């Protein structure tokens, strides 16, 4: 009986020792798992920080790319050594050209020709000149970075007179609207006559008539339509810059004209005209 008791006690002690060893082993394993978990958490946070840094660099690169694209669109390009416009303006010009008569568009061989057509289309639309004979009454062109609007004598004056007639009110109002809508433009009003000599009590010669007609238009634009006088220049060319030989009534009529020379920022000017689409 005594032997059995000793054996039982020994068995209990052995079992207790084994359980304690397992417990300690489990504690160690648990500690290792916690350590691995902490290590994994730190690595995860480190990866998240690295990813955030990479994403920030990507966003920054995309921003720079977009900025370069915008700069490229705004980059100025030379047009046949005549004008300087941006790629944005070229896009707007191409959109406008979709509305231009196909027969006229077929004659455009260069970018300058296309710009002429686009500006002419938009200006005519802005000035609503559909009731005019464009070939005789009003023509629009661009040359050496200026926009030129040529208005026939019969649209503005009575024969041999420098007083602006009432029939000119509509076209001058529309012209004033174009001038007033863009602060940066300057405008030269240039009078032209045919070669037939004129001399009256109030007009000394063709020089006098051409200048008087220019100043009359300038005064009308300032007094009646609110154009800032500092934007305007009045000049006369007499009959020394003819469009045609002064040998027929038809040709002389072409030479009697007032030319409005607008010196704009072409980008702004085209954007202004394009807004009327």
Instruction: Report pLDDT digits (tens) over 203-237.
Output: 999 999 999 999 999 999 999 999 999 999 999 99
30-49: per-residue pLDDT in tens? 778 877 887 888 888 888 88
Average pLDDT over residues 96-110: 79
Helix locations, the chain, DSSP H: 2-74, 87-97, 102-105, 111-127, 153-156, 169-180, 206-225, 249-255, 266-274
Give the dihedral of Cα atoms 162, 240, 232, 214; nearest 10 deg: 0
* CA angle 94–273–98, rounded 5-degree value: 25
CB burial readout 9-36, b (16+ within 10 A) else e:
eeeeeeeeeeeeeeeeeeeeeeeeeeee
- 81 compared with 99, residue with greater pLDDT: 99
**What is the predicted pLDDT for the residue at 20?**
66
**What is the predicted pLDDT for the residue at 70?**
46
Give the dihedral of Cα atoms 157, 159, 160, 163; nearest 10 deg: -30
pTM value is 0.57
Return d(Cα 29, Cα 18) in angstroms, integer: 16
End-to-end CA distance of the chain: 117
268 band by pLDDT with thresholds 50, 70 and 90: low
Residue 127: pLDDT above 90?
no
**What is the predicted pLDDT for the residue at 130?**
47
**What is the predicted pLDDT for the residue at 193?**
95
- 195 compared with 74, residue with greater pLDDT: 195
């Amino acid at each position: 009986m005594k032997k059995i008791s000793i054996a039982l006690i020994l068995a209990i002690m052995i079992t207790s020792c084994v359980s304690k060893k397992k417990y300690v082993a489990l504690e160690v394993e648990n500690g290792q798992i916690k350590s691995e978990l902490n290590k994994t958490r730190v690595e995860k946070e480190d990866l998240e920080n690295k990813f955030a840094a990479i994403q920030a660099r990507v966003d920054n690169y995309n921003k720079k790319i977009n900025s370069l694209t915008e700069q490229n669109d705004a980059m100025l390009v030379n047009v046949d050594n005549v004008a300087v416009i941006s790629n944005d303006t070229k896009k707007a010009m191409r959109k406008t050209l979709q509305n231009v008569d196909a027969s006229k568009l077929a004659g455009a061989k260069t970018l300058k020709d296309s710009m002429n057509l686009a500006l002419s289309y938009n200006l005519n639309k802005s000035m609503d000149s559909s009731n005019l004979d464009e070939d005789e009454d009003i023509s629009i062109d661009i040359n050496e970075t200026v926009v030129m609007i040529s208005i026939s004598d019969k649209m503005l004056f009575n024969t041999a007179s420098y007083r602006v007639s009432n029939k000119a009110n509509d076209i001058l109002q529309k012209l004033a609207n174009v001038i007033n809508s863009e602060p940066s433009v300057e405008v030269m009003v240039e009078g032209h006559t045919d070669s037939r000599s004129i001399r009256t009590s109030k007009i000394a010669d063709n020089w006098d008539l051409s200048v008087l007609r220019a100043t009359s238009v300038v005064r009308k634009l300032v007094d009646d339509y609110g154009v800032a006088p500092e934007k305007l220049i009045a000049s006369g060319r007499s009959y020394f810059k003819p469009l045609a030989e002064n040998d027929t009534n038809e040709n002389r009529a072409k030479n009697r004209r007032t030319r409005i020379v607008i010196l704009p920022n072409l980008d702004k000017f085209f954007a202004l005209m394009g807004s009327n689409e």
